[in-house]
Structure formats: C-alpha cells, structure tokens
Amino acid sequence: MNQEQNLFSLISNNLDSGQYRELHWQGSFHDYLEMLYENSAIARTSFQRIYDMIVASGGSSPDDQTGGECRHWNFFDDPDNDGRDAVFGLDRPLTHLVNFLKAAAHGYGTERRVLLLHGPVGSAKSTIVRLIKKGLEKYSRSPEGALYTFQWQDENGDWVDSPMNEEPLYLVPEAARADLLEHINSSGKGAYPIRLNGSLCPFSRWYYKYYMEKYDGDWHKVINHVRVRRLTLSEEDRVGIGTFQPKDEKNQDSTELTGDINYRKIAEYGSESDPRAFNFDGEFNVANRGVIEFVEVLKLDVAFLYDLLGASQEQNIKPKRFAQTAIDEVIIGHTNEPEYRKLQSNELMEAFRDRTIKIDIPYNTTLSEEIRIYEKDYAGGKVKKHIAPHTLELCAMWALLTRLEEPKNAQLSLMQKLKLYDGKDLPGFTEENIKELRDQTTREGLEGISPRYIQDKISNALVSEYDYVNPFMILKELEEGLRHHSLISSEELRSRYRELLAVVREEYDDIVKNEVQRAISADEEAVAKLCANYIDNIKAYTQREKVRNPYTNQPEEPDERLMRSIEEKIEIPESRKDDFRREIMNYIGALAVDNKQFDFRTNSRLQKALELKLFEDKKDSIKLTTLVSDVIDKDSQEKIDVVKDRLIKKYGYNEDSATDVLNYVASIFARGDAKN
C-alpha cells in the first residue's frame, strides 16, 4: 500500500491545480474589458501573437559573415524540448520569415498573404511549421500569451462555446467600436493598437440576434448571456491550430476546410440554414486565432486554392449556405521544387502566385551546423556503438559539397569555399568577400544530398556486424547508396557526387595526419623546451645579441637553422621572417607590461609550428611506418602504444578506431616514403 501511495504522490506532486484554474478562467464581459484596459495584448491578432512569441525567446546579434543581414533566433533551437526539433544553419531564411511576421503584425500588408515555404525535400520546412505550432500551444498557456474567447447561454441555460473561438470584442456593436478602441488604445499599454476588422460567425450571430430581439435591443441584457473564458490552443484538440493535407482528387472535399451541415440536428432546428445545425469544424474554422498548415499546398485541387485566396486576401471564408465569415489566422503552406515549377508555368494560377510570399528554405551550407544535425541523433552516448572521431564531420562535409555551387573565382576550390562559409580564415578573403561569394550564387542549397540520406547511411553502418563505426565504413555506405538513390536523375550527377567523396577522403587524410602528428608531439614539456629555445634565439636575433650555448657556456650566433625549421612549418617565407619574429617579441613584451607570462598555447600558429617541428624530430624514432610491415620491435611498439593512448584519451578514439587511424596514417607515410 505504501508503494502505491508513493507512486500516486509522484503523479500528484507534478500537478498544479492553481495553473489549471488559471487556464480555465471564466468571467463576465465586463471583467474582460477591465483586463483588456490593463493589458491590451490579450486582444492581439494571430500574426502579432506568433511574432511576439518568437521575439520573446530572444536572439543573437547579426551574423558578421552575412554582412549583418540576419540574426539567430533562439526560438528555432527548440529549447523547450532539448533541441529535438532544432533547425540548424538557416539563420538567413528564418530571419526572412520573422520579418514577414513582423510586417504582418504591424498591419503592413503581409497579413493578407499566404506564407509559402519552398525548398528541397528534407530541408526542415515541416520542422519550422511544427516548431511554430508547438510554440503557439505553449505560449497560449503562458501569462504573456493569454487569449480569450466566449460562450453563449442557450435557451436551456446551458453554456455553448463560440465554435470559432472568436475574440470577445466582436460582441461590441459597430456603432460603439471606434470610441471603445480609442479609449483602450489611448492607455498606451499595448505594443500594437487594437484593430477590429471582423464580425461574429453565423453561429454567434444567431444567438446575438435572438437575445437582441428578446430584450428589444438592450445590449446590456444580451451580454449577460455571454461568459468569457481563457482559450488555450491545441493541435490535438483542434483548437486554434489546423493542418490540412491533400488527398487524391476523388476524395477532396472543400467542406474539410470550411465545415459542413450536421444532418442529425436539422430535425431539431428545422432548417439547413440554421447555423446551430452546422458543424464549424473545417480546418479554417478550428485554426481561427492561431495558425493553419497546408502540407504540400500546391498539390491542392484548384477549388481549394480559391478558398485559400479568399482566406488570405479578404481574411474571410465561405461556409456552405452562410455569408462570408471573418477569420484571423496565419496561413502557412510548404512545397517542394517540382510542384513550385508547375505553379510558375500555370498561367491560371497567377492570382495565387500574386497572393503568396515565398521564402526559400534551402539545405544548410555551414559545416559546423550540419555536424550538429547528426550529433543530435548519434553523438553524446545516444547510440551504443562507438563512432570514431571525424565520422560525422566527413558525412557533413560531403553533404555540403553536393549543395555548394562551384566558386566563380578559379583560384578557390569548393573545399576552401566550404571552409570560408564555416568561418575559417583564408589569406586574402575578408568577411565582405564571403558575403560576395554567397550573393554570386543562384541556387545554392536548393539542390544536393539531404540530411535524411546521410542519416539513413549512418544507421546502416550502425547495424553492421562491427562493434564500432569509422569514417571508411560510412564513406563506403554513402558511395554504394548512390546507385539506388531515387532523387539522383542522371549518371553525370552520380559521378560528380562520387568525385566529391574522393575530395572528402583527401581532406580526411590531412585531418588524421595532423591529428596523429599532434598525438606524437603531445609531450608538452618537450614543446615548451623547444619553444624556450626558439624564443631565446629570436630574442637574440631581433636585439642583435648572441645566445649562450647551454653546454659550452660560450656566446654564439642565433641558430638560424633552428628558427627557420620552425617557421617553415607554418609557411613563413624568408622575406617575412623578420616581421614574424618581431611580432612574437612585441606580443611577449606587451604581456610583460601587464605582468603576464608568455605561453606558447596562446598563439595557435606558433603552437602548430612547434608541434610540427617536434613531430618531425620524433617520427623517425617512433618508426610509425613499421606498423604496415610484418615486423615491429618492442621499443617502437611501446612508443606507438603511448601515441595510441593519447588518441584515446585526448581525441575520443577507442582501442580499435585508434589502431585503424594509426595504421591508415602509417600507410600514408609509407606511400610518401615510396614516392620519395
């Protein structure tokens, strides 16, 4: 019994009865007007509410790489669900989307348009809409996102909901609206002035007229039969959030959008024209005060698109047998490339194109963001098998290369362009140059390999018989899958993608060579000693002094051979050596003024040069190339085991993947020795 009570308490301790009462608040119309005067935000339009919801999550300052044209909006990181639906690398199109909502929120005209998200398959169009719908559900439950609707008291004294969850201010007669709104707006307590452009739906108009006739036009008595209540939006309950997905042409019926007659109630109310005998449960009806999503909107029958035109431009819908009915909702559709091309070529769809604002949602083109897409599902212990370092990075790299357009600058390779987009520095390229690179493209990100394909191939590798996954396994999966890829339309494109896999393999060679080099030269004491020796020599060189030999204690000329052997590792030319040495000494001097000590780790270029020099000095003693031979002596094995241990502890390898990478790098060096 005690155990049952404990389990029961686990449930009850997580329930908040106070919040339940707040979300189910009910009161009079007079109570609502008092709340409205104190906080006019409760009467915002759907566009205003969604825009405020996104802005409330905050965002970072403009991204310098895009010339300050966009910013990062935290809302699309899906922070409430630990990033489960996070959107990566699409700051620019998402900023266009937020700007569209901002203009609509201020009534600049875009509120009378259909928002069309256009892009290739797997580019996060549906995810963006899903985030907006989920966010709106949560926002409507918060104090900042509160909104209200009303109920009517019927002839039997029971309370019935307004079927379209209308704004209670629609109950105010036209003659009194202007003065009321002027009084509320003059308080200056809302970010937007309240505008009332709609009127009651047919169901509410019936009750309004019924009570007006009953009380001979006494509005104050009519309003006593109205009860205002808090409204919480929910896609599952079909309140304020609608979704419409096209079916085959024979099964499409416009009543799915605007509602239909309830034939069982005709006998009760006596007429098909009685709004009480009508179900206002079409997707447009239920989405009122919120958002409606049209999945693959351009697959809709033409008759449906006409409904869409009226809903967007006039903000009205036409239920069967009733007059135009006002709606307040954000209409978002999404479509892919082939469907959009059909729309462009169809002259009969000119009116729809004119009422549509298209926002391209391309594939991500930033390497670090693409890696995050795959890390979300496969990194950080989310899968049981070990995934070797750089495996997800190579997948992301190849996916991006298939999406990028060849640079017009012949001296810039596609891989270099990828690195520039990812914020890496290349000599001669400024942030303005990177912006120009992006502006020169026409369809970048709208073609290429989708993240879904990569995820499928990673999954294939994870279920293989091996205990771990390394880059070679994934690259093999990616290449073999190209033969059966349904979205690759030509052999020429297939060949290009294979060539890009070869580019990725070359890049991987450089990555792992550098990594093994760092592991071999990871003796910080030896690096620090080499650094001290280098600093002593460049200090003597720049000050035209001599260096004391530690063994003979005799003054000698600075060791030019040592200094150049280090500087050449980071491609400092002979003509620039003096500048580089003075730069290092000036930096050390500036630190000394602040009573700080120089540390080679604070200068990444110098650290790289020292590590490469140390690697060069030590690689012959380690004899890495013996790994690819049949015979390896005990001394070499011990040194290799030390390097392997560093790869495991410092770089994230396991025993098997560390052995793989050492063997692979050994084979690279062996090939290099053979060429020499």
The mean pLDDT value for 430-453 works out to 90
Residue 415 lies in a domain: yes
Q: In angstroms, rounded to a whole number, what is the distance separating the alpha carbons of residues 102 and 147?
A: 19
Question: pTM to 2 decimals?
Answer: 0.85
Of 475, 499, 519, at which residue does a domain stop?
519
Residue 256 lies in a domain: yes
Do 427 and 465 sit in the same domain of this protein? yes
The boundaries of the domain holding residue 580 are 522-618
Task: State residue 202 phi and psi, 5-degree precision.
Answer: -55, -40
Residue 89 near residue 369 (C-beta atoms within 8 A): yes
Q: In angstroms, rounded to a whole number, what is the distance separating the alpha carbons of residues 134 and 141?
A: 11
pLDDT exceeds cutoff 90 at 205: yes
Do 39 and 180 sit in the same domain of this protein? yes
Do 346 and 375 sit in the same domain of this protein? no
Q: In angstroms, rounded to a whole number, what is the distance separating the alpha carbons of residues 164 and 240?
A: 8
Write out the H or E segment, with its range, that includes residue 509: helix 491-520
Do 341 and 390 sit in the same domain of this protein? no
pLDDT over 70 for what percent of the chain? Answer: 92
Express each pLDDT in 240-274 by its tens digit: 999 998 876 666 677 889 999 998 999 888 888 89
Q: How many CA atoms lie within 13 A of 614 on its CB side?
A: 25
Residue 123 lies in a domain: yes
Do 236 and 176 sit in the same domain of this protein? yes
What is the C-alpha end-to-end distance of the chain, expressed in Å?
A: 81
Do 268 and 394 sit in the same domain of this protein? no
Do 357 and 320 sit in the same domain of this protein? yes
Of 464, 487, 519, at which residue does a domain stop?
519
Do 266 and 373 sit in the same domain of this protein? no
Q: Across the strands, what pairs with 326?
A: 316
pLDDT exceeds cutoff 80 at 156: yes
Tokens of 676: 């020499």
Task: Give the ranges where 202-279 is alpha helix by DSSP (H).
Answer: 202-214, 219-222, 255-258, 263-269
Structural Rg of the chain based on CA atoms:
34
Of 566, 585, 618, at which residue does a domain stop?
618
How many residues are listed for the chain in this entry? Answer: 676
Do 90 and 73 sit in the same domain of this protein? yes
Residue 667 lies in a domain: no
Do 73 and 100 sit in the same domain of this protein? yes
Residue 358 lies in a domain: yes
CATH of the domain at 100: 3.40.50.300
Express each pLDDT in 568-627 by its tens digit: 888 889 999 999 899 889 888 888 888 888 887 777 778 888 888 887 776 655 555 555
Q: In angstroms, rounded to a whole number, what is the distance separating the alpha carbons of residues 560 and 541?
A: 9
Residue 575 near residue 581 (C-beta atoms within 8 A): no
Residue 632 lies in a domain: no
Average pLDDT of every residue of the chain: 88
CB atoms within 10 A of CB 5: 9
To which residue do tokens 């600049």 refer? 108
Residue 452 lies in a domain: yes
Which has the minimum average pLDDT: 76-85, 198-207, 664-673?
664-673
Which of 1-15, 52-66, 331-345, 351-365 ranks highest by mean pLDDT? 351-365
Where does the pLDDT of residue 5 fall: very low under 50, low under 70, confident under 90, or very high at 90 and above? low
Do 148 and 278 sit in the same domain of this protein? yes
What is the 3 state secondary structure string of 14-40? CCCHHHHHHHCCEECHHHHHHHHHHCH
Do 135 and 255 sit in the same domain of this protein? yes
Residue 567 lies in a domain: yes
Q: In angstroms, rounded to a whole number, what is the distance separating the alpha carbons of residues 341 and 359?
A: 15
* SS3 category, 231: strand
The mean pLDDT value for 77-104 works out to 94
Number of domains in the chain: 3
The mean pLDDT value for 500-526 works out to 87
**Dihedral, 269, 274, 279, 282 alpha carbons, nearest 10:** 170
Q: Which string of DSSP letters, residue by residue, matches 156-221?
A: TS-EEE-TT---GGGGS-HHHHHHHHHHHHTT--SSS---------HHHHHHHHHHHHHTTT-HHH
